[in-house]
Amino acid sequence: MTPWYHKTTIYQIYPRSFFDSNGDGVGDLRGVIQKLDYVKELGFESVWLSPFFTSPQRDFGYDISDYRNVAPEYGTLDDALELIEEVHKRGMRIVFDMVMNHTSDEHPWFRESRASRDNPKADWYIWRDKPTNWNSLPGGSGWYYAPERGQYYWASFLSFQPDLNYRNPEVKRIMLDTVRFWLAKGVDGFRLDVFNAIYKDEAFRDNPFSPRFIPTENDPSGFFQQAKYNLNLPESFEFAREFRAACDEFGERLSLGEVSGSRATIRKYLGGTRNDGLTLVFDFAMLNFRFDADYFRRLLLDLEAAYPDPFMPVYVFSNHDRRRSMTRLGGDVRKAKLLAMFQLTARGVPCMYYGEEIGMTDLTMPFASALDPVPHKYKYIPRFIFDLLGLTINRDEARTPMQWDATREAGFSSAKKTWLPVHPNYSEINAAAQSQATSSLWNAVRQLLKLRSRETALHAGSLNLIESLPSNVLGYARVSEDERVHILLNFDRAPVQFPCADGDCLFKLNENDRAAGGICALGPFGGIILKNPIP
Ligand code: GLC
């Protein structure tokens, strides 16, 4: 039996940008509650919310100062509990974002820890007399001097996000108890922030040299060193099992790791052959997809090999840290529909970022005025260099408010000024307009989600590639006990015809896409789904 967390579909909500219910320009939990019917109607089965816990918001919630409470601009603890209830009322699941690796430097634990070398929390963070050569994830040393102790603390991300010390059993216990606190309140699982950084080398050895300068998704070595002693330690793989065991106390709960490293490495977070570690991991290399059939064929083959049953891959093309997929696709709606069709029919859990269903694009904004702290680290490097490398440094660009309709502020807020500007393309790109237009991306996503939930082969079947297709056509079969579904996708701007098995058409992207009489004809970037084809 496939567990629910391997069959589900995930919609990521960045609460700050989803819907502002009280007119202060910032999205909030009551706003999310008000828009749950939208997510339900669209057809997602789970929602994941980026953090809304108490936080000074220097990294917009990824710097938590109280894990058991809600930041006032997002609402109250009662709102969070009501949100859980409202999601469940609609038959959906709710996934929270748990930042296990670090707290805010304003967390009372850190304030106490930094005050002296001998307070009760002195060992709750990672303190050293002498820094190692390790680089932080965004680059540059991650060691910061605290004059109170005359020592340095380690921060994997930014200076105000000190890493917790998981070698201290009390820290581990209190963090796992926090997880249990939310599980007991009904939360169905967690997305786990920078889970690959949890443990650091016990002996604090210096990282060895690497010729690499720019880290990538599948090789976090960079800035001329291998990330050997600060990332992906065996203790972190082991901790994934402990985390899973805590979740299992509450039944089938989802745990989705934000990790990076080679496939062989990140696969270790899933545990042994029985998948007794995290239930899922992101495999982020695909965020930099190339839009052609070969790329997606290779991706399917690689992920099928890396995550065979009882494991499950995750398919993700956008999130709050990266370029939106529609920006990568140059705003071409036909391509976005084909990408969605791939994502929602492949064997894996699809994870879509709010606004991806309507093709929202990034809004280019200058580094100097960025609210995101990351670009300030890089403000002396000309932007075109990052653009050439395809890197989004200013994450504000992918976090602009959800475009609900064509009214002012895209229907996101009644405030005069929203926390980030609304993308000016909202009058054309918005949910209200697209839900009216049958040929919209929104409608394609909705139909595909409904189909996926309905057809066992699509949410729980195995996957085999269909061979001997034209070079820019990708085809695969999803097969369950009593059902076989063929998915055929044309990645070319030219129409294509090829021999195929006939079956009942469950879905097609364009009017003219068809399969009959042993011939499949797909228009530019066309696609078709056939049920029970007879070979
Ligand atoms: C993760 C989050 C990102 C955050 C960072 C530090 O990568 O996705 O938004 O800034 O961790 O917590």
pLDDT tens, position by position, 385-442: 988 887 889 999 999 999 999 999 999 999 999 999 999 999 999 999 999 999 999 9
CB of 193 sitting under 6 A from ligand 1? yes
Measured by CA distance, the residue closest to atom 2 of ligand 1 is 193
Q: What is the mean pLDDT of residues 28-46?
A: 98
Question: Taking the model in full, what pTM does it have?
Answer: 0.98
Check if 282 has its Cβ closer than 6 Å to any atom of ligand 1: no
Q: Which of 49, 139, 69 is nearest to 386 (CA)?
A: 139
Burial 221-258 (b: 16+ CB within 10 A, else e): bbbebbbbbbbbbeebbebbbebbebbeebeebbbbbb
Model confidence over 348-367: pLDDT tens digits? Answer: 999 999 999 999 999 999 99
pLDDT for 410: 98
Nearest atom in ligand 1 to 157's CA = 6
Whether the per-residue pLDDT at 535 is higher than 70: the answer is no
Q: 157 CB less than 6 Å from ligand 1? A: yes
Q: Mean pLDDT of all residues in the chain?
A: 97
Please indicate whether residue 372, judged by its CB atom, sits closer than 6 Å to ligand 1.
no
Mutation test residue for ligand 1: of 52, 193, 287, the one with most atoms within 8 Å of CB: 193
State whether the beta carbon of 137 lies less than 6 angstroms from ligand 1: no
> Residue 436 class from Cβ within 10 Å (0-12 exposed, 13-18 middle, 19+ buried)?
exposed
Nearest protein Cα to ligand 1, atom 9? 321
pLDDT tops 90 at residue 532:
no
Average pLDDT over residues 342-346: 98
- Of 62, 281, 351, the residue with max ligand 1 atoms within 8 A of its CB, to mutate for a pocket test, comes to 62
Banded model confidence at residue 508, pLDDT cuts 50, 70, 90: very high
Q: With CA atoms as reference, report the closest residue to 10 among 451, 275, 354.
A: 354
Is residue 331 over pLDDT 90? yes
Tell whether ligand 1 has an atom less than 6 A from the beta carbon of residue 59.
yes
DSSP summary character for residue 266: H
pLDDT of 1 reads 86
CA of 108 to the centre of ligand 1 (A): 21
Q: What is the pLDDT of residue 57?
A: 98
CA pair distance 319, 325, nearest whole angstrom = 9
- Which atom, in ligand 1's list, is nearest to the CA of 321? 9
What is the number of the ligand 1 atom nearest to the C-alpha of 395?
9
Which member of 163, 193, 492, 513 is catalytic? Answer: 193
- Catalytic residue of the set 148, 177, 242, 249: 249
User: Is there a catalytic annotation at residue 249?
Assistant: yes
The DSSP symbol for 513 reads -
Ligand 1 close to Cβ of residue 60 (< 6 A): no
> Quick check: CB of 62 below 6 Å from ligand 1?
yes
Decide if 193 is catalytic: yes
Q: State the pLDDT at residue 32.
A: 99
The rounded Cα 209 to chain-centroid distance in angstroms is 31
pLDDT value at position 388? 86
The mean pLDDT of 4-19, rounded to a whole number, is 98
Question: What confidence score (pLDDT) does residue 403 get?
Answer: 99
In tens, the pLDDT along 428-485 reads: 999 999 999 999 999 999 999 999 999 999 999 999 999 999 999 999 999 999 899 9
**Which residues are 464's β-sheet partners?**
477
Say if residue 534's pLDDT is above 80: no
- The predicted structure's pLDDT at residue 387: 87
Structure confidence at residue 105 as a pLDDT band (50, 70, 90): very high
The confidence score (pLDDT) of residue 261 equals 95
Question: How confident is the model at residue 95, as a pLDDT?
Answer: 99
Q: Is the model's pLDDT at 151 over the cut of 90?
A: yes
Atom of ligand 1 nearest to the CA of 59: 10
> For residue 60, how far is its CA from the centre of ligand 1 (angstroms)?
9
- Answer whether 287 contacts ligand 1 (Cβ < 6 A): no
Which of 100, 304, 68, 12 is CA-nearest to residue 181?
A: 68
pLDDT single digits (tens) 107-128: 999 999 999 999 999 999 999 9
H, E, C per residue of 340-405: HHHHHHCCCEEEEECCHHHCCCCCCCCHHHCCCCHHHHCCCCCHHHHHHHCCCCCHHHHCCCCCCC
Q: What are phi and psi of 525, to 5 degrees?
A: 50, 35
Residue identifier of the C-alpha nearest atom 4 of ligand 1: 62
pLDDT confidence band for 533 (50 / 70 / 90): confident
Percent of the chain with pLDDT over 90: 96
Q: pLDDT tier at 230 (50, 70, 90 boundaries)?
A: very high
Work out the average pLDDT over 201-228: 95
For residue 56, the SS3 value is coil
d(CA 372, CA 475): 41
Q: 194 CB less than 6 Å from ligand 1?
A: yes
Tell the residue nearest (CA) to atom 7 of ligand 1: 194
Strands, E assignment, 193-301: 254-257, 280-281
